[in-house]
Amino acid sequence: MKAMTMRLGTTCLLALAALLLTASAGTAARTSMRVTGLQCEYLVNPRGIDTPRPRLRWVHESRERAQRQTAYQVLAASTEAGLDEEQGDLWDSGKVVSDQSAQVVFGGEPLPAGQACWWKVRVWDQDGRASSWSRPAYWERGLPTPADWGGRWIARTAETSAQPAPLLRREFSIDGKVRRARLYLCGLGYHEARLNGAKVGDHVLDPGYTRYDRRALYVTHDVTDQLRQGQNALGVMLGNGWYNVHTVAVWYFDKAPWRAAPKLLAELRVEYDDGRTETIVTDEQWKTAPGPVVWDSIYAGESYDARQEKPGWDRPGYNDGAWEAARVVSPPAGVLSAQQMEPIRVTQTLRPVKLTEPKPGVYLFDMGQNLSGRARLQISGPAGTEVTLKYGEKLLPDGTLDQREIAVHIRPFGAPERPAGAPQPRFQTDTYTLKGRGTETWEPRFTYHGFQYVQVTGLPRKPSLDTVHARVTHTDVRSAGEFACSNPLLNRIQHATRWAFLSNLASIPTDCPHREKNGWTGDAHLAAEQAIYNFHPAAAYTKWIQDVAEAMRPSGELPGIVPSSGWGYDWGNGPAWDSAFLLIPWYLYEYYGDTRILERHYDQMRQYVDYLTSRSQNGIVNIGLGDWVPPGPTAPVEVTSTGYYYEDARIVARAADLLGKKDDAAKYTALAERIRAAFNERFFKAETGLYSNGTQTALATALNWNLTPELHRRRVVRNLIMDVQKKGGHLDTGILGTKYLLNVLLDNGRPDVAYRVASQTTYPSWGHWIERGATTLWETWNGADSQNHIMFGDVSAWFYRALAGIRPAAPGFKRIRIQPQPVGDLTWARGAYDSIHGRIVSEWRLEDGRFDLTVTIPANTTAVVYVPAESAASVTEGDGPADRAKGVRFQRQEGGSAVFEIGSGTYRFSAPAARLPLAASAGK
């Protein structure tokens, strides 16, 4: 007994000494973890944040394996110097014991209007060692309430008919050293602000499109460096945008309830070093005149007459004696809120790849890429020469531009339909009239087009490849992912998907950048997961989902397009489209761990499901559009609509559960169960194992939403595969079924069959488009319609999810599933994804009889990795057995995969490739 105590005592002492040692090491030795990637509300150093308690995020970099955060501290200060000195006057979270590093809610008092907030983070690693502080990051509160705004709305005219774009100007003087200056403005439909002769900021087509009678967005610019001592001049040019649509088309935006002539609210806040502040606001002191943009339409294009320029109008000292006083007008009916998302920018300039002259004097510039944007013209010639630029994506047999399809919905003014044979009204056409002095460089400001070709007429002399360049515009979301593999066709599909998505993100997700530019809800949700893998659309989706919420009628109905002038409630909607309102918030939860978006819209999400219940009969919903543009017959509407109804009920149930609404959770879970029973009862045929009419979409709907009873699942999958095989390995689906098909095959163990479908080159397939020259995705399998639609784009998400095998296993990729699929003839694939928790990489290669898989997952996450192998014993990691490698734990053998748990870091797994079940000729 005594010996025992002795021994214990010694052990205790030793342990204590060890503890002291690590403790002192803890203070001396810093962790190798570095904190980077600071973001506020999904944005990097944003200005103009309305959210009173924004959410913060950071990531960790570490050289060590299996590293994680055990605690964090956020310090927020009103000045950068204060933050340097570690004074958290706005917030000091103190040391918070937590592994949370995303969606961390700012815990300080809501910042007053215009207040800057500098912040930084440090973390403690798994051994309790602190990191150094991150580099400082920044956000700034906007002007969140009407009381924060001093000015009044001003305009040149109240006339809504097509008028020259107004210029508005105001001079003011600055005396003293300026500490900081901010320009807040909302100029509807579009604005371009200029200060002392230079454009303010690098945004274009500001502010983002909203239903202006519900909400209008203001933009914040840092103009500190653009001010100068003495006299200054602020000028703003206004375009019609979506606010004053005068082009008549099917969706009657010309009759939009918000329609009014362009108007402006602006506020320039100047803070001097000596503590004085000054604001210059819009009021009747501003002067106005028509500008050189003599005509502008979001659909039809822009006309610029350089002879109408007013040189110096945006500089001090300009004689505006002949200008009128601006008139004070009523504000738009919507609330003013911050544009809390990436702006639209010109992100690339493309030089044409080819120039032809299909007819004398008609020049055709081929950009080699379908895109959204506009042309930049560079020419010289006599004053008054009018150059016309027409944009499109197809050519007529004679090599000239073919706008027929994309202009199909445009009507002559006043006519409900375009009479047969009537000339096509102006569409996607810009004109430029030369002033005749030197080289003139111009691009339109208040419109954008979808095009690969620009057809130019009226040029004073023969052009070169430098006469017209393409300026690519879209909401400037950062890239989040990369995918490539050994099959070049798939890489081209990936390229086309990225371009199609960017072409269709113009402050709202659109269907196409030319014909409609509409926020079709179905297209948006079908493309959303792809968007998340490829880019960072979370802030943009947060804004658009708000637009959708604001489009809901008291009945719970949603329109097929958002924003809508009132069109789209009677046709073009239904659960398969409307469910964007539930699915996209749910994706933001799954991919970013965002619960706030669910919380914000929960009541209306529930209202929507209740609306569907009111339209259901015995659990079946038979309203709205069904699977869209399939190559042949597809599932009846009631099949696809009820599928979405079921999923919507489940989303409400799960959201209720997350938000602690237990009664609702139970109620909507029960509802979902009733829908599921009704679905099977009505559509499932036990004799054949088919659903409804047995189409791929019908079967895939059931499987995709897990509606099929477990007992019958394998049979339904088999039937689906048989149908694919019967069609020579082709899909037979429209936009709904296509998204389900590949995923259902993946989730039911046949990614090889999905791969065969995805890598086809004959009709109907993505490869067929590519073979026909597609550089973006098309609207229909036969290629007859738009050639820049994103609604078939989930195939790219499937590349990440299936081929690279990257998926979230817990919300926000806090836990990651890596399950690559070496299928078909692929010999390698690589996916990389910047998740909200940091960069994930999965790269595999079949070489010399081995399957090599390199996986990187960020610190503060864990992953479960599926290595195709017969047993754990046959898998190595680095130089030794995988199950003994640092950071690796063998979990189980599942079918043909050894499943390992890993902590953060980079791992190199390798296994014999002898029996990869789905590789090579499998599935054929």
Task: Return residues touching ligand RAM (CB under 6 A).
Answer: 511-512, 516, 520, 522-523, 572, 625, 628, 789, 791
Question: To 5 degrees, how large is the angle CA 811–CA 812–CA 818?
Answer: 85
CB-based contact 503:492 (threshold 8 Å)? no
CB-based contact 707:701 (threshold 8 Å)? yes
Transcribe 852-879 into DSSP letters.
EEEEEE-TT-EEEEEEE-S-GGG-EETT
**HEC-encoded secondary structure of 349-416:** EECCCEEEEEECCEEEEEEEEEEEEEEEEEECCCCCCEEEEEEECEECCCCCEECCCCCCCEECCCCC
User: Which CB sits closer to ligand RAM, 207 or 572?
Assistant: 572
Question: To 5 degrees, how large is the angle CA 393–CA 398–CA 401?
Answer: 25
DSSP 3-state assignment of 121? strand
User: Which CB sits closer to ligand RAM, 519 or 820?
Assistant: 519
CB-based contact 446:165 (threshold 8 Å)? yes
Tokens at 696, concatenated: 């791929």
> Is residue 219 exposed (0-12), middle (13-18) or buried (19+ Cβ within 10 Å)?
buried
From 171, 557, 638, 779, active-site residue: 779
Q: Compute the least distance from the CB of residue 499 to ligand RAM, in Å.
A: 17
Tokens at 550, concatenated: 């604001």
Q: Compute the least distance from the CB of residue 571 to ligand RAM, in Å.
A: 9
User: Which CB sits closer to ligand RAM, 113 or 408?
Assistant: 408
From 302, 393, 516, 647, active-site residue: 516
Closest of 397, 398, 394 to residue 408, by C-alpha:
394
User: Which CB sits closer to ligand RAM, 520 or 844?
Assistant: 520
284 is catalytic: no
Provide CB contacts within 8 A for 170, sequence distance 6+: 233, 234, 235, 280, 282, 285, 286, 287
User: Which CB sits closer to ligand RAM, 789 or 837?
Assistant: 789
Q: Compute the least distance from the CB of residue 513 to ligand RAM, in Å.
A: 11
Transcribe 697-753 into DSSP letters.
HHHHHHHHTT-S-HHHHHHHHHHHHHHHHHTTS-----HHHHHHHHHHHHHTT-HHH
How far apart CA 797 and CA 310 sit, in angstroms, is 50
**Cα-flanking dihedrals φ and ψ of residue 346, to 5°?**
-80, 115
DSSP 3-state assignment of 346? strand
Q: Compute the least distance from the CB of residue 558 to ligand RAM, in Å.
A: 13
Q: Compute the least distance from the CB of residue 786 to ligand RAM, in Å.
A: 6
Q: Compute the least distance from the CB of residue 893 to ligand RAM, in Å.
A: 45
Q: Compute the least distance from the CB of residue 417 to ligand RAM, in Å.
A: 16
User: Which CB sits closer to ligand RAM, 598 or 735?
Assistant: 735
Closest of 504, 511, 500 to residue 572, by C-alpha:
511
User: Which CB sits closer to ligand RAM, 574 or 619?
Assistant: 574
Tokens 């082709």 found at = 730
Q: Compute the least distance from the CB of residue 788 to ligand RAM, in Å.
A: 10
> Distances in Å between the alpha carbon of 730 and those of 29, 717, 738, 827?
59, 15, 11, 22
**HEC-encoded secondary structure of 96-107:** EECCCCCCEECC
How far apart CA 821 and CA 867 sit, in angstroms, is 9
* Parallel, antiparallel or unpaired: strands 481-485 and 468-475: unpaired
Tokens at 648, concatenated: 């919507």
Closest of 460, 442, 462, 454 to residue 376, by C-alpha:
442
User: Which CB sits closer to ligand RAM, 400 or 510?
Assistant: 510
Q: Compute the least distance from the CB of residue 898 to ligand RAM, in Å.
A: 43
User: Which CB sits closer to ligand RAM, 324 or 405?
Assistant: 405
Tokens at 35, concatenated: 């904190």
Q: Compute the least distance from the CB of residue 771 to ligand RAM, in Å.
A: 23
Q: Compute the least distance from the CB of residue 740 to ligand RAM, in Å.
A: 17
DSSP 3-state assignment of 22? helix
User: Which CB sits closer to ligand RAM, 125 or 516?
Assistant: 516
Q: Compute the least distance from the CB of residue 882 to ligand RAM, in Å.
A: 47
Q: Compute the least distance from the CB of residue 637 to ligand RAM, in Å.
A: 13
User: Which CB sits closer to ligand RAM, 628 or 907?
Assistant: 628
DSSP 3-state assignment of 265? strand
Tokens 């004398």 found at = 360
How far apart CA 223 and CA 225 sit, in angstroms, is 6
Residue type, 758: A
User: Which CB sits closer to ligand RAM, 734 or 811?
Assistant: 734
How far apart CA 846 and CA 826 sit, in angstroms, is 8
> Is residue 788 exposed (0-12), middle (13-18) or buried (19+ Cβ within 10 Å)?
buried
516 is catalytic: yes
User: Which CB sits closer to ligand RAM, 625 or 754?
Assistant: 625
Within 10 Å of residue 27's Cβ, how many Cβ atoms?
10
State the catalytic residues.
516, 779
